[in-house]
Amino acid sequence: MKKLLTSSFAFSVLAVASIQGHSELALQSGQAKISWGSQDSLSKAKAIMYNNTDVSSNTRTTQTVSVAPQTNYQNNYQNSYSNNANSNWSNSSYYYANSKGALVVDALTGQVIYEKNADVARPIASISKVMTALVVSESGANMNDIVTVDSLDFKTPKKSGSDRLKVGDQMNRAEMLLMMLMKSENPAAKALARTDPLGYDGFMAKMNQKARDLGMTQTVFYDPSGLDARNVSSPRDLAILGRLAYRHNLISQFSTTPNRNFDVNNVSSGYRSISARSTNYMVRDGLYNIGFSKTGFIREAGNCVMFETNVNGRPSIVVLLGAPDSKTRWEDAENIISNLSMRRFT
């Protein structure tokens, strides 16, 4: 099942509100700032991230959620869908995954649809950046503050090269967050953590505390990018994180942006344009209805992906860890989506 979405991805980055004209991330020439529609500021993004604003797009309605312990989170999530989450699914199709770990969950009810080694913790590579994004979004830091990439941001457990970012590059925090989620830039993750109000060590403490608060008992983070193989989680833990990330407007929209051109200032060499695109081909090509996405790869983790897909009007969270190669990862993903299309509800 490969159908092109009937709804356009033109709203991709910041179009989570119905605004006259199209609302997207418009980078002003010679400036590093975001415009929302005709507004030359980040006020809308801040409202979404910090004020629990409910914002409708032309394809779906999403809501930010203030999350405390897991029990409150589950109750809030369930209550918000009380009108349409009561149906059960029946299934005659065949789910399988060649990835080492997998979990498919109904995003409305939390009901497990398919699982494989769902409670085995494995390295998760750049899927770590989902938690990084969540902590950034809840930090209260000004999204319009300029973040400068430092040489320290390239000093990571593994070599952290970049074909996009350089030492001295400057973007505001929201643009850095977009670059991290869409292009999976490791220096962007490190820069966001380093410039947190509590500093780098405080940021890492918040990542691990957030995991505990959500009930992610098999999860630990040692760096914000996922290059540290000690960053581990299980598919079941990541499904908890995925259900939250999907409902977080800015994370959802940023992680499903197909491509973007950034006008970036460098303190030494001045302005240049950076072209970047999503690491998920299903997002880049507009295949399927993907409401949240993050890929990952390091040698220890294999090929990983976590995403939300809405099939037949029903959202599901899919987690795949430890695929031996990229081809297997995407074959697993497409098989699962195909089987979801054959679900029937009673």
Which residue numbers are catalytic?
126, 129, 184
Say if strands 259-266 and 270-277 run parallel, antiparallel, or are unpaired. antiparallel
17 phi/psi in degrees, rounded to 5: -130, 155
Residues 6+ apart with CB under 8 A from 199: none
Residue type, 190: K
How many Cβ atoms are within 10 Å of 258's Cβ, its own excluded? 19
Phi-psi region for residue 199, left (φ > 0), alpha (ψ -120 to 50) or beta? left
